[in-house]
Structure 1
């Protein structure tokens, strides 16, 4: 009989609507006699403690039922352990799942988990010991995250877009110092993004050339830009065609250090803390249940 799947659940995903979607997924995973247990934490800290305890017991996989924030939490538990991570993308933004071809349909995603095909991928690790699977944001985008987290509405992606417009009114370029594999540069920028996978913010393809198994981090810098110019370029990020803009540069590195005054870093949509911060790629640190690559 297949081994146990531990399903880590975020009951607040999709504004609390995901809980009613859980039972069909559990039934799908239990087909054929597979044991499935469900873990729900009282808080993020409690959920992580429970997830780590479950991983230590050696299940067949830890499965995150939620969005990128829950995947980020689950990654802290499985990174480097050899225990595979499954993803049922039940959140508002599911960029990490999309990067690995995991379908948005929850039953189809459950079938991917049940199939058990493992893809080995990289993770990034910060000098504070935190892992991330997707994109770390520093600058304008992280300031938008800070503002959106203080807002009570509107729900979903609309809150982020409203926060962006409000932040843009008062935004000024930030003096950044960026070190890539020991080479340091300094100058003003709108934002710096460090990516293991290509998108964040529910489909913004900020680093469209990023590959999660190439042993490198993609680093995108957006230089100083008037608000009107930024608003003209911004829609192109959803198509990944912004890289040709003269104010935008893209580089790759194994180890990245970023410093800027008053800037909070976010990764996978979760708050990491103030800069400076160093992160490095750790090849093969993640085993993910995903559709086979073509």
Structure 2
């Protein structure tokens, strides 16, 4: 079994949770190959080498949605199962998969049980032919703009950086012209939010595509069409309960293939900077085995 921990996740609690998990796994007699690294690129290289050589049959990642994203990209399309020790701030993917959150003992028990679940991934192929996937939600509207703004800030740290980015972006934000192609059907619109959900939630409990399923072979595409800033402020908080879908400006479509086009937008998937638009993606049914 391979183990990959992000020590800085969950306000630096990842290291503690990871060490506890490592001890529990070894106490249970599991041979563990520690693949943790000082940066994501090194972790990916070590993970690919371990999977490619057949050194591991399971990869367990410890951290937040970013680590699950990394693990899914390593394991999707391979026989290696992905285990999750949720130790991040949001933990949306783990929570929506019904996995324990911030509980190393319960997570290890789930991993050792050997139960698995096949889930879909959304796959994007770059112009150079590189394939990347996401497991949860891809953001490509106001939320992505805020993420991009927050990543440009050097102060403050943590969640306050995103709050500041929202305060700076909201007064100047305007609806974005989009072209979407869903299973060959073209849609031209102006929208405040566009999100593609393989799973239901992102951003620490925002159920943006609340009826999305990890194993239905479809992607849920949310479009929040052009509304006033004041109305947007009324609608946006409802995303935490998923009740925003009843608003007349909200539309959710399902598709197997999705193309998004908009100028100046960089998408974020599973909370990670993903790809600039335009981009196309497709659902790959059952591409990933999860220890769940």
Give the TM-score category using the shorter length: over 0.9
Which stretch of the first structure deviates more once superposed, 5-14 or 204-213? 5-14
How far apart, CA to CA, are the structure 2 residues paired with 1:134 and 1:46?
23
Cα deviation for residue 161 of structure 1 reads 3.1
Does the 8 Å contact 1:69/1:268 carry over to 2? yes
Structure 2's unaligned 5+ residue stretches are: none
> Is 1:10 the counterpart of 2:6 in the alignment?
yes
Query: Who is 2:76 aligned against?
Result: 79
String of CA shifts for 1:127-154, please: whole Å, max 9, x gaps: 2211100111102110011112222444
| Residues 277-288 of structure 1: pairs in structure 2 closer than 5 A | 277-288=279-290
How far apart, CA to CA, are the structure 2 residues paired with 1:92 and 1:229?
29
String of CA shifts for 1:159-216, please: whole Å, max 9, x gaps: 3233223211110111000000000010111121001000000110000000000000
| Partner SS state of residue 190, structure 1 | strand
How far apart, CA to CA, are the structure 2 residues paired with 1:131 and 1:221?
21
How far apart, CA to CA, are the structure 2 residues paired with 1:93 and 1:155?
16
Does the 8 Å contact 2:7/2:16 carry over to 1? no
Does the 8 Å contact 1:64/1:70 carry over to 2? yes
String of CA shifts for 1:259-279, please: whole Å, max 9, x gaps: 001111111111122110000
Does the 8 Å contact 2:178/2:262 carry over to 1? yes
String of CA shifts for 1:228-262, please: whole Å, max 9, x gaps: 11111122111111100011100100000000011
Query: Who is 2:105 aligned against?
Result: 107
Cα deviation for residue 155 of structure 1 reads 4.3
> Is 1:48 the counterpart of 2:50 in the alignment?
no
> Is 1:205 the counterpart of 2:203 in the alignment?
no
How far apart, CA to CA, are the structure 2 residues paired with 1:55 and 1:166?
43
> Is 1:195 the counterpart of 2:159 in the alignment?
no
Q: Which of 247, 252, 255 is matched with 2:254 structurally?
A: 252
Query: Who is 2:118 aligned against?
Result: 120
| Partner SS state of residue 23, structure 1 | helix
> Is 1:38 the counterpart of 2:34 in the alignment?
yes
| Residues 227-246 of structure 1: pairs in structure 2 closer than 5 A | 227-246=229-248
Does the 8 Å contact 1:28/1:111 carry over to 2? no
> Is 1:61 the counterpart of 2:58 in the alignment?
yes
| Partner SS state of residue 178, structure 1 | strand
- TM-score, normalization by structure 2: 0.94
| Residues 80-95 of structure 1: pairs in structure 2 closer than 5 A | 80-95=77-92
Does the 8 Å contact 1:92/1:156 carry over to 2? no
Does the 8 Å contact 2:37/2:43 carry over to 1? yes
Query: Who is 2:163 aligned against?
Result: 161
Aligned pairs, number: 286
How far apart, CA to CA, are the structure 1 residues paired with 2:108 and 2:251?
38
Structure 1's unaligned 5+ residue stretches are: none
| Partner SS state of residue 138, structure 2 | strand
